[in-house]
């Protein structure tokens, strides 16, 4: 099974592609889709839409998993990230209904065994679980790999996490 994990963001959207076979996991690719801060929002969203479509063309994932958004302080940032997440979801939804989402705490729990783990703990476990030599950079890409790992570990109950 090929899984595309996405960590939503307007300026930087992380992605991580892994292969999961039974208990084995391996990295296929990871990185970010970046947009320019001075560019108008509609153009930035179009760039994200096109970038996600390119990922779908290249990797042809079986499932796509998103990190669910959680903003408690900056509503303006939350709205921009929500728009970016929406553009990515539309790109995926045009091709498949296999869209899933996980909360930050679910991701931390699945990857580290502790739902309140810090970013560094999650990155270290992603590195270990995927047998990587170094921690994935930038952070958004590492987070996206964590999302993909979470989905791989939840595959037997994946219908519970389907985006509806």
Catalytic residue (one of 63, 101, 140, 143): 140
Clarify whether 7 is annotated catalytic.
Answer: yes
Strand positions, DSSP E, 11-161: 12-21, 24-34, 63-67, 99-102
Contact call for residues 14 and 138 (beta carbons, < 8 A): yes
From the candidates 7, 63, 101, 143, which is the catalytic residue?
7
Q: Which two tokens stand for residue 4?
A: 């595309």
Residue among 63, 67, 101, 143 flagged as catalytic: 67
Q: What whole-number distance in Å separates Cα of residue 99 and Cα of residue 29?
A: 19
Catalytic residue flag (residue 140): yes
The string of DSSP letters for 29-55 reads: EEEEEE--TTS-HHHHHHHHHHHHHHH
Q: Which residues are catalytic?
A: 7, 67, 140
């Amino acid at each position: 099974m090929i899984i595309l994990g996405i960590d939503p963001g307007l300026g930087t959207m992380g992605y991580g592609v892994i292969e999961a076979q039974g208990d084995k996991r391996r990295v296929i690719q990871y990185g970010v889709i970046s947009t320019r801060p001075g560019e108008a929002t509609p153009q930035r969203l179009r760039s994200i839409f096109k970038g996600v479509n390119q990922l779908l063309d290249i990797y042809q994932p079986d499932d796509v998993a998103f990190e669910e958004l959680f903003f408690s302080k900056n509503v303006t940032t939350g709205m921009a990230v929500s728009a970016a997440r929406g553009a990515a979801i539309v790109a995926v939804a045009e091709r498949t209904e296999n869209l899933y989402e996980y909360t930050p705490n679910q991701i931390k729990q699945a990857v580290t065994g502790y739902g309140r783990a810090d970013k560094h703990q999650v990155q270290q476990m992603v590195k270990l679980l995927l047998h990587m030599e170094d921690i994935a950079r930038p952070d958004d890409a590492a987070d996206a790999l964590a999302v993909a790992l979470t989905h791989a570990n939840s595959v037997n109950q994946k219908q519970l996490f389907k985006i509806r």
